[in-house]
Amino acid sequence: MLENYFPVLLFIIVGLVMGVAPMLLGGLAAPHRPNSAKLSPYECGFEAFEDARMKFDVRYYLVAILFILFDLEIAFLFPWAVVLKEIGLFGFIAMVVFLAILVVGFIYEWKKGALEWE
């Protein structure tokens, strides 16, 4: 009965070796030249351990939200393209309307200057 579990055990062992071996080899073979710039934390263009009351530029969040908003259409375009023959003309028109709404939103954001970095 235990011989039935041998392939599972072998798979786990090979997976662990394939995951741990590159980290060990990289740690042993990589040059170790740390400096203050490499060791400093970096997040959103400012030092992470400064005064909590400092002014923070919200453009980082705006760009991230706009990226998610306009990149999300790809999540709908791939499945739509796969089943386009099955959904027919109705599905095509629905996607055209969806993309038109996105284009209108993109033009609105462009005209408002949300995509310009000063």
Which CATH number fits the domain that encloses residue 76? 1.20.58.1610
Would you say residue 19 lies in a domain? Answer: no
| Total tally of structural domains belonging to the chain | 1
Would you say residue 46 lies in a domain? Answer: no
Would you say residue 6 lies in a domain? Answer: no
| The pLDDT value given to residue 117 | 72
Would you say residue 101 lies in a domain? Answer: yes
Would you say residue 91 lies in a domain? Answer: yes
Would you say residue 2 lies in a domain? Answer: no
**What residues make up the domain containing 111?**
52-118
pTM confidence score = 0.49
| The pLDDT value given to residue 15 | 96
Q: How far apart are the C-alpha atoms of 59 and 1, rounded to whole Å?
A: 61
pLDDT digits 0-9 by tens, 50-94:
666 767 677 777 878 888 887 888 888 888 889 989 999 999 999
- Which residues touch 46 (CB under 8 Å, ≥6 apart)? 54, 56
